[in-house]
Amino acid sequence: MKRIKHFAFAALMLCGIGLFTACTTEDNPVPSDPSESAVDPELTLNRELLLSSIEKDTKAMADMMAPEPLNATSQAYAELLALIQRDRNFITNMQTVLTALAERKVSLNPVLAGSELAQMGYVAYITVDNGDFGFRVIFDGKGSSRIVTADQMEFIFPANIAGIGNTLFKVIIGTSQDSYQTVADANIKGIQHLACVTRLPRSLTMTLRGLINNQELTLSESVINLQLPESEQSAFVDLKASSFTLTGRQNAYLNAGDGCALDFSLNMDGTDMTLGYGYSRNEASVIGCVAQMVLPQQSSFITQMSKNAFSTADLKAVGISMVDDLLLTGTVTNGEAFARHL
């Protein structure tokens, strides 16, 4: 989640840069060489109207911004990560629990003759369901934790959050039953031609709850959706594919009836990458932006999830909308011409 917020923040920054370095309107194109022609009075009027609209929408955005719910959510997740990092036995304890769960749930199955797995050269397979390993991690806030099996994935921890105070929080992670199937070598020493079939959920949910006034209240709800290309000729998806789509939404609350939401989308199509970001309050859109970028080379889904593509991507175009009233688009190539008209 932290990585996703970095993606969203990067998109907003990119849109802001594009707005002030290269912006045009469809009704008012920027001349290719303004030094050779007089300034059109209508162009000046349109510019004044544009700046007036920007000023009005900026004020409306400031009035509609309510960062407290998002700040509280961010602080809670940051504290959870800090507790995990301070716990020296967390990784060891987690491995112990997951290994015990895997031993109970993973079974060895023979490959049917003529099946797709048989055509791949496998003679047997094991299945791993990433959504079928339930556990509960309980942090004491003093540098240690205990992990037990549970019906779902939960993290319970104490934290002192601005606007809420010092109390207990719970993060619940859930996965959808609707899923993809992936296949790879099991890589178990001494066993050959063994496949590992993994269920990859199409949706992941994260819920943050807090114990407030002796009541467990929901403070944040997040969902991440994954779309991978599928083939009618195969029951398995290819994680090496360079085309995929990630979409997500995070709703955050502090007071009943007053909440805000972050939306994001990441679409990869070969070397073309489109990143969208939006912020709304009480279902009313406040600001949104879209950045189109180009990667120097095609990268697989796994590569994109493990590396920061933004360090090498070239910004192609940006668009930003403000309170559903003003839409600005631009590229980084006309910035000098636009600047001479301000």
DSSP string, 131-152: TS--EEEEE-SSS-EEEEE-SS
Q: What span, in angstroms and rounded, lies between the C-alpha atoms of 309 and 294?
A: 10
Residue 95 pLDDT: 82
Span of 8-17, 121-130, 279-288, 300-309 with lowest mean pLDDT: 8-17
Does pLDDT of 267 surpass 60?
Answer: yes
Q: 24-63 as b/e, with b when 16 or more CB fall inside 10 Å?
A: bbeeeebeeeeeeeeeeeebeeeeeebeeeeeebeeeeee
The string of DSSP codes covering 2-43 is HHHHHHHHHHHHHHHHHHHHS-BBTTBPPPS-GGGSPPPHHH
The mean pLDDT value of the chain amounts to: 78
Give the percent of the chain with pLDDT over 70: 73
Matching residue, tokens 């004020």: 59
Q: What span, in angstroms and rounded, lies between the C-alpha atoms of 74 and 6?
A: 12
Q: Output the six-digit token pair for 259.
A: 């909440």
Q: What is the pTM of this model?
A: 0.69
Residue 308 pLDDT: 58
Residue 130 pLDDT: 64
Residue 81 pLDDT: 94
Residue 329 pLDDT: 64
Span of 115-129, 236-250, 284-298, 310-324 with lowest mean pLDDT: 310-324
User: Between 166 and 94, where is the model more confident?
Assistant: 166
Residue 236 pLDDT: 94
CA 246 to chain centre: 7
Q: How confident is the model at residue 168 (pLDDT cuts 50, 70, 90)?
A: very high
By C-alpha distance, which of 107, 145, 110, 103 is closest to 126? Answer: 107
Residue 198 pLDDT: 87
Matching residue, tokens 């909308």: 321
Residue pLDDT, tens place only, 173-182: 999 889 999 9
Does pLDDT of 19 surpass 60?
Answer: no
Q: What span, in angstroms and rounded, lies between the C-alpha atoms of 273 and 2?
A: 20
Residue 273 pLDDT: 86
Residue 224 pLDDT: 95
Residue pLDDT, tens place only, 43-93: 455 777 767 777 777 777 666 777 788 888 999 999 999 999 999 888 888
Q: How confident is the model at residue 257 (pLDDT cuts 50, 70, 90)?
A: low
Span of 195-199, 205-209, 266-270, 301-305 with lowest mean pLDDT: 301-305
Strands 194-201 and 124-129 come out as parallel
What single letter denotes the amino acid at residue 303?
T
Q: What span, in angstroms and rounded, lies between the C-alpha atoms of 27 and 48?
A: 14
Residue pLDDT, tens place only, 311-334: 667 778 888 887 766 666 665 544
Q: How confident is the model at residue 12 (pLDDT cuts 50, 70, 90)?
A: very low
CA 67 to chain centre: 18
Mean pLDDT across 192-214 = 91
Span of 18-32, 282-296, 305-319 with lowest mean pLDDT: 18-32
Residue 263 pLDDT: 93
Mean pLDDT across 179-189 = 87
